[in-house]
Amino acid sequence: MTTRRRFLAANLLAAAGFGSGLGRCSLAGNEEVDSTAPSAPSAPAGSDFWNDWADELTRTMNRSREARMGVLAQIKSPSQARARVEMIRTKLWQLLGGPLERGELNAQVTGFVEGSGFRIEKLFYESVPGVVVTANLYVPAAGDPPYPAILAPVGHSNNGKAYNPYQHLYQTLARLGYVVLTYDPWGQGERLQYLNPATGRSFMEPTEEHFMAGRPMTLLGDSLALYFTWDGIRGVDYLLTRPEVDSKRIGCTGQSGGATMAMYLTALELRIAAAVVNEGNTENVAGPQYDPPGAVDDAEQNVVGLLPLHLDRGDILAAAAPRPLLICYTTHDRGETYSPVYDEATEEVYREAASVYNLLGAAEKIRLSASHMPHGLDYTNRQHTCRWFNRWLQGHDDGPVTEPLFQPFPETMLNATRTGQVVTSIPSRSSVEVNRDRLATLMKTRRAKAPDADRLRATLASLLALKPAGGTPRSRVLSSTARPGMTIEQFFFETEPGVRAPGWFLRPASADRPPVILYLADDCGNSLVEEPGSCDRILAAGYAICSISPRGLGIARPRFPHGGPNYYSPNSMVGERYSWAWLALGSPVAGQRVQDALRAIDYLSARTDVNPAQLRLLGSGNAAIAAQMAALLDNRVHSLLLDGGIVSFATLVESPHYSLDFSWFVPEILRYMDLPDILGGLAPRPCWIRNSVDANGTTLDSSKVKHRHLEASSGGDALPIHVHVIVEGAADTQTTYLDWLRSA
């Protein structure tokens, strides 16, 4: 995986003296997405900071796009096309985190429904040991078996496999002589993870359930897409146990999110002989006319680290070659379900995939079909789907299909479980339990191989994808305001070319070259300049304070996309979409914020009106994550105080509910370390921890905080001497801050 390669690169840097204590450590990212390239512009002098991060994402995406297009242009022979397809399949498996364990299916048929020209078997099987997948199997009543079969992953319908438009297609296919297996993914149908007992439905929409399950998986180096895909692969395994099924004639189709799953399944599962992708996420992440945050979606539709490998969604479609592939889309999806350039983007990925098909002598096996109806599995899509499978799986002409009158079955009739929900019917591991088990395995391995401080720094820099930086960043003071006892400057510095970090610098009037505190907080330090300010007593004690707005926060929160009309809501745009877009580029937002903090240290170290030898770092709220990471990576930090920060990333995995914004998640970090490991690596520099919180933001008592830190250590029953834990209620925080400053 991309991050693992960066991990190896970091180890090489460690051997060369990286993290040796001589100032700050840094690590180069992948060249094709390095925003320090000479083409990166200098930032303007104004205060439109909301443009910087969006513009940088656009530049980075466009560079990634250009590099990938250059790679595609070199594929000119059948052997190169075949090698490309094999490489895509191999790398996609690695990026998703699989394959998973192939245990016993333990399939059970729990009932039957008789239809006109078909029957439906209600069943379940296990995709991985202990994880139950609910499904329906449509079996033709006429014709001679063995029949061709269709694997049918579903889109984001609340009732999963029972959604009426999906039933309509499955009934039509069954009457045409196909066995159809459709199944519920986590968060839909009978597999709700956040069940409201009062209503029997989820507290969330399917996409929200997917986000809740998928975010913690990134911390483990896994992905929700892996589990969704594995459900389907095990569905193929089940189909092959049925005597009615012809193993050589298995197709796959899905609509919307189910179409995206059909893309993954067809790329990875060679037993699928033909596929139809209906209105899926058929546009490259680094697509044409990129408008940030771009074509990202919920957790299972995004692939972390895809773009640095010169891969994108067009390659996932190309990996179906030379098997028959039909791509259907609707012009009505532009700016609504998908991006404002969905039409153009889908045509682009079709051309990319068709180029591979052409080189392999299979030009007739790929087609693109457009409709102009709203997003949905309608008559046009059903016709295209059935005719495509008739042609390639049954050898019929692809003429129009006659559909008998559709008679939908109530959801309750199609339920494979007694109560209509796995969680209340069958012992089955939930997504949270799967993640907890994975975490336990990783923690056991990690404790047995605890790295030294230098290796810890190198690994962290690699996981954060830090870019090379050095020297004094360009800066400018935008305003200076005098108040009794202090001067307040509004300033910015360039954290990298074209990206400005704005902030406040407060200097006490009574001190000459005072010690300085770098203050990282969720409010980006605005509380410092209120009247009274949140740290006025600290200023009065002779300390200067500098705060910044890291990328994506405060006044540096990015602008809205230019496209529309319903192209992302504000919360999803900032809290999820930008984060997923950067992760596709292999650049965690948390790492960019740590980079901002490190450049702030460079900035402060160059100021002549403070004493950088007495530089302290205070992290408050979620920003405490960046503070402790920056402190580990930069030995110029004299001491550290964390106030109200989350105690560990592990608590996000273990809890079914959590409140930490996804932008603070670091992919794969729990394979190598957790936040307590980072604090342990600060020794002997003092570290104070005040009011640590759990996954839901609830303050923990000191025993639980200490347990988390001891759990991460390789031995001993006491905290390291440099770590000091405080839990206090409504006490004056400035008193605690002053105690910390005087003790260190």
Q: What is the DSSP string of 402-460?
A: --PPP-PPPHHHH-SSSSS-GGGTS----HHHHHHHHHHHHHHHHHHT---HHHHHHHH
**Superfamily of domain 477-743, CATH level 4:** Alpha/Beta hydrolase fold, catalytic domain (3.40.50.1820)
Residue 260: which of 244, 239, 271, 275 has the closest Cα?
275
State the Cα–Cα distance between residues 106 and 104, nearest whole angstrom.
Answer: 5
- Main-chain dihedrals φ then ψ at residue 517, nearest 5 degrees: -115, 125
Which tokens belong to 118? 């078909």
Which tokens belong to 683? 């020794």
What pLDDT shows up at residue 572? 57
The DSSP annotation for 520-560 comes to E-TTTTGGGGSSS-TTHHHHHTT-EEEEE--TTSGGGPPPP
State the Cα–Cα distance between residues 341 and 335, nearest whole angstrom.
Answer: 7
Which tokens belong to 18? 């990286």
State the Cα–Cα distance between residues 50 and 677, nearest whole angstrom.
Answer: 34
Which tokens belong to 498? 């074209």
The DSSP annotation for 595-655 comes to HHHHHHHHHHHH-TTSEEEEEEEEEEGGGHHHHHHHHHHBTT--EEEEES-BS-SHHHHH-
Cα angle 117, 123, 124 (rounded to 5 degrees) comes to 150
User: What type of residue is 671?
Assistant: R
In our burial notation (b when 16+ CB lie closer than 10 A, e otherwise), range 367-406 reads bbbebeeebbbbebbbbbbbbbbbbbbeeeeeeebebeee
Q: Please confirm whether the linkage preceding 148 is cis (ω < 30° from 0).
A: no
The DSSP annotation for 245-262 comes to EEEEEEEEEEETHHHHHH
State the Cα–Cα distance between residues 350 and 254, nearest whole angstrom.
Answer: 17
Strand partners, 128: 131
What pLDDT shows up at residue 511? 80
State the Cα–Cα distance between residues 553 and 20, nearest whole angstrom.
Answer: 32
CB 188 within 8 A of CB 138: no
State the Cα–Cα distance between residues 618 and 620, nearest whole angstrom.
Answer: 7
Which tokens belong to 150? 């269709």
* Nearby residues of 440 by Cβ (< 8 Å), 6 or more positions away: none
* Nearby residues of 444 by Cβ (< 8 Å), 6 or more positions away: none
Q: How far is CA 103 from the centre of its chain?
A: 27
Looking only at the bridges linking them, the beta strands covering 274-278 and 245-255 are parallel
Residue 629: which of 606, 652, 645, 651 has the closest Cα?
645
What pLDDT shows up at residue 566? 56
Q: How many helices (H) and strands (E) does the chain have?
A: 23, 20
What pLDDT shows up at residue 34? 36
How big is the chain by its Cα radius of gyration, in Å?
28
Q: How many CB atoms lie within 10 A of CB 484?
A: 6
What pLDDT shows up at residue 171? 98
Same fold? 108-439, 477-743: yes
The pTM assigned to this predicted structure is: 0.92
What pLDDT shows up at residue 709? 86
State the Cα–Cα distance between residues 548 and 496, nearest whole angstrom.
Answer: 15
State the Cα–Cα distance between residues 431 and 454, nearest whole angstrom.
Answer: 35
* Nearby residues of 28 by Cβ (< 8 Å), 6 or more positions away: 34, 467, 468
Q: How many CB atoms lie within 10 A of CB 202?
A: 18
State the Cα–Cα distance between residues 155 and 461, nearest whole angstrom.
Answer: 38
Write the DSSP symbol of residue 576.
I
CB 519 within 8 A of CB 615: no
> Environment class of residue 595 by beta-carbon count within 10 Å: exposed (0-12), middle (13-18) or buried (19+)?
buried
Mean pLDDT per block of 10 residues along the chain (744 residues) reads 36 32 36 38 71 95 98 98 98 94 97 97 97 98 96 96 98 98 97 90 90 96 96 98 98 97 98 97 95 91 96 98 97 84 95 98 97 92 97 91 93 97 95 95 84 91 92 93 94 94 94 94 95 95 97 91 63 77 97 98 95 94 98 96 97 95 96 94 94 96 90 68 89 92 87
- Main-chain dihedrals φ then ψ at residue 385, nearest 5 degrees: -65, -50
User: Tokens 């005072």 label which residue?
Assistant: 514
Domain map (residue ranges) of the chain: 108-439, 477-743
Write the DSSP symbol of residue 693.
B
Rounded to whole angstroms, the maximal C-alpha distance in the chain is 94
State the Cα–Cα distance between residues 15 and 439, nearest whole angstrom.
Answer: 29
State the Cα–Cα distance between residues 95 and 313, nearest whole angstrom.
Answer: 13
For the 108-439 domain, the top CATH level (class) is: alpha beta
> Environment class of residue 335 by beta-carbon count within 10 Å: exposed (0-12), middle (13-18) or buried (19+)?
middle
Write the DSSP symbol of residue 705.
H
User: What type of residue is 46?
Assistant: G
In our burial notation (b when 16+ CB lie closer than 10 A, e otherwise), range 163-198 reads bebbbbbbbbbbbbbbbbbbbbbbbbbbbbbbbeee
